[in-house]
Structure 1
Amino acid sequence: MAAGLNSEYMALCLVLMISSFGLCLVSTHAELRRFEQPAKTDGTLSFLVLGDWGRKGAFNQSEVALQMGRIGEKLDIDFVVSTGDNFYDDGLTSEQDKAFEESFTQIYTAKSLQKQWYSVLGNHDYRGNAEAQLSLHLRKIDSRWLCLRSFIVDAELAEIFFVDTTPFVQSYFADAEGHTYDWRGIGSPRAYVANLIKDLKLALSESSAKWKIVVGHHSIRSIGHHGDTKELVSKLLPILKANKVDFYMNGHDHCLEHIGDAESPIQFLTSGAGSKAWRGDIKKQKTGGLKFFYDGQGFMSVQLTRDAAEIAFYDVSGNVLHRWTATKSLYASI
């Protein structure tokens, strides 16, 4: 009898150990992966931001790419940020999908753009084989490509927190409108979002970077076609405010846009005009704090020093449409 109890006790302990180890593995796996991105030797940082672009060069994608190359050389950029919807209309079909090279490698050919590209998934990417875009195989085809669901880029002067926003949007699960989404790796969307928020809060609270930037596909504030994303307003925005995030950058709306927040120093920057634009498609009820809106194709540049930030938006011809500059001391006191 005693031997039997001892055996049961040992078995229970083993189960608990395995369970605990399993929880530890899940927790470790959920932590945001971090990548080091050196700043320039003088401590400054510059990069381009582009979203909603992959159309095999169509809808002015090639023209935007040309101007990106020109501005990228002028600013001596360190890397490129993609805000999602990387391949239209429905992402990639597989790791071997030629659309990857036809919409990326063969389009962004300028010397200045042969830098690391940090990318998140958009809702259109989830309509294809989302796992394919996360695959290491694509990095073998083009070493510039780095796409994960959520991760951190530590660029010394700034930390950039990339957030997988598509699983936040409840309508994609409730009514797919005839689309098929690749939810592999997500599991329960509620648990997935809760864990992501937990990890983001921790990472932001521990950050000592001079500039904190969060990148996602969906907008928090926008007067464009999609407008504000209510799930991000309720779940993500409070975290950004609490941790004094400087910029939230996104795509999704096919426009260029700059909105300030009346209650915090956060600047909402939309760069989703990499190819097809939605001309004239503006929400009638405008969001307060609007500084700039353009419904044509283009992209955005970001230049950072320890004391100042300069944001610029460019059209398909490379013209500067809007430039905004603020010192860190003044900006932090808004």
Structure 2
Amino acid sequence: MAVLNQRSLARCLLFAYTLGLCFFYTSAELQRFEHPTKVDKSLSFLVVGDWGRRGAFNQSQVAFQMGIIGEKLDIDFVVSTGDNFYDNGLTSEEDKAFEESFTKIYTAKSLQKQWYSVLGNHDYRGNAEAQLSPVLRKIDSRWLCLRSFIVNSELAEILFVDTTPFVKAYFTDAEGHTYDWRGFKSRKAYISNLLKEVESTLKESTAKWKIVVGHHTIRSVGHHGDTNELTQWLLPILQANNVDFYMNGHDHCLEHISDSDSPVQFLTSGAGSKAWRGDIKGLNRGGLNFFYDGQGFMSAQFTKTEAEIVFYDVFGKVLHRWNMVKQLHQSI
């Protein structure tokens, strides 16, 4: 069903674009995908971001360790936080970078599960729509990438948010790059409608765990720091709707920051390949629990009442472990 929905969506996009109808995703309802929990009602997955470099910059080594941890945890799926293909996304659906940076790298048996992916700013520098195409699912059935969508399980609701259009600089060419904004008639309308969808989804959710995934940071002491547009527009919605975790990439590091005004935990997993050694800002930032400026990834495990977040380096060493017990009144 997921494949059929994506194919139909892609055809609608192609038809609309051919006719010059640039209104795609300005008001569309978010697609939902059901992912069952295990027999014991637990849920586990890995989170990795900023990875697609044909195995270079330790991408292959990170993938190898992901395979080991993935088997140990019996993961249900993998979450990619964006910047899936460097430096400038994919050129087309036939771009060999897809197989050379994804299929031929994440070969472990435990990683042959569904991958849920969002687009990052580097993905938008190429043919962004190529990554959304169902053609890639024919090449590798694990791949599922949409701009924004929802994954439901019995334990958690995971809302994937397309954060790149929030950043104004990408539209004004302030960074000197070209971005694939086909299908965007109005940035303002796109953001407004997406925020409405996010807010209504979170308000209506009865999930025991609420998780939001985006590419860009909300809180970070890494290279890019906080994303001002997200702290202004998205963060208040997360705080008001009892979101437990915001998971992202963008900064090529691993970090855990606790929000000072709500229970939200900010988890950065953007160290899938190239990392920036020594590039850290705001060492005295309140709420900073953990920061690591090398390659690695993250795991997330959930039961009805407990969550465990673990960060690993390129050798599979545990760098940071954090546990949370869900209070009864939050689960009602």
TM-score, normalization by structure 1: 0.90
Task: Give, in angstroms, the shift of residue 332 of structure 1.
Answer: 5.2
Contact 2:26 2:189 in 1 (8 A): no
Are residue 282 (structure 1) and residue 280 (structure 2) matched?
yes
AA paired with 1:180?
Answer: T
What's the secondary structure of 2:327's corresponding residue? helix
User: Of 117, 123, 126, which residue of structure 2 is paired with 1:125?
Assistant: 123
264 and 331 in structure 1: CA distance in 2 versus 1, 3 angstrom threshold: farther
Identity %: 77
Contact 2:208 2:330 in 1 (8 A): no
Contact 1:260 1:289 in 2 (8 A): yes
Greater Cα offset, 148-157 or 172-181: 172-181
AA paired with 2:139?
Answer: I
Are residue 59 (structure 1) and residue 53 (structure 2) matched?
no
179 and 147 in structure 1: CA distance in 2 versus 1, 3 angstrom threshold: same
Task: Give, in angstroms, the shift of residue 287 of structure 1.
Answer: 2.9
Task: Give, in angstroms, the shift of residue 203 of structure 1.
Answer: 0.8
What is the CA–CA distance in structure 1 between the aligned matches of 2:35 and 2:328, rounded to whole Å?
Answer: 27
Show structure 1 runs of 5+ residues with no match: 1-24
Task: Give, in angstroms, the shift of residue 262 of structure 1.
Answer: 1.4
Contact 1:50 1:299 in 2 (8 A): yes
Specify the structure having the higher radius of gyration (Cα).
1
Counterparts of 1:145-156 in structure 2, within 5 Å, are 145-156=143-154
User: Of 84, 104, 117, which residue of structure 2 is paired with 1:106?
Assistant: 104
What is the CA–CA distance in structure 2 between the aligned matches of 1:186 and 1:26, rounded to whole Å?
Answer: 7
Q: Tell me which stretches of 4 or more aligned residues in structure 1 moved more than 6 Å.
A: 25-28
Greater Cα offset, 48-57 or 199-208: 199-208
Counterparts of 1:170-319 in structure 2, within 5 Å, are 170-284=168-282, 286-319=284-317
What is the CA–CA distance in structure 1 between the aligned matches of 2:246 and 2:267, rounded to whole Å?
Answer: 6
Are residue 324 (structure 1) and residue 319 (structure 2) matched?
no
State the match for 1:88 in structure 2. Answer: 86
State the match for 1:141 in structure 2. Answer: 139
AA paired with 2:310?
Answer: A
State the match for 1:41 in structure 2. Answer: 39
Task: Give, in angstroms, the shift of residue 27 of structure 1.
Answer: 9.2
What's the secondary structure of 2:207's corresponding residue? coil
**How many residues align structurally?**
309
State the match for 2:70 in structure 1. Answer: 72
What is the CA–CA distance in structure 1 between the aligned matches of 2:325 and 2:121, rounded to whole Å?
Answer: 35
AA paired with 1:100?
Answer: F
AA paired with 1:226?
Answer: H
What is the CA–CA distance in structure 1 between the aligned matches of 2:315 and 2:273, rounded to whole Å?
Answer: 13
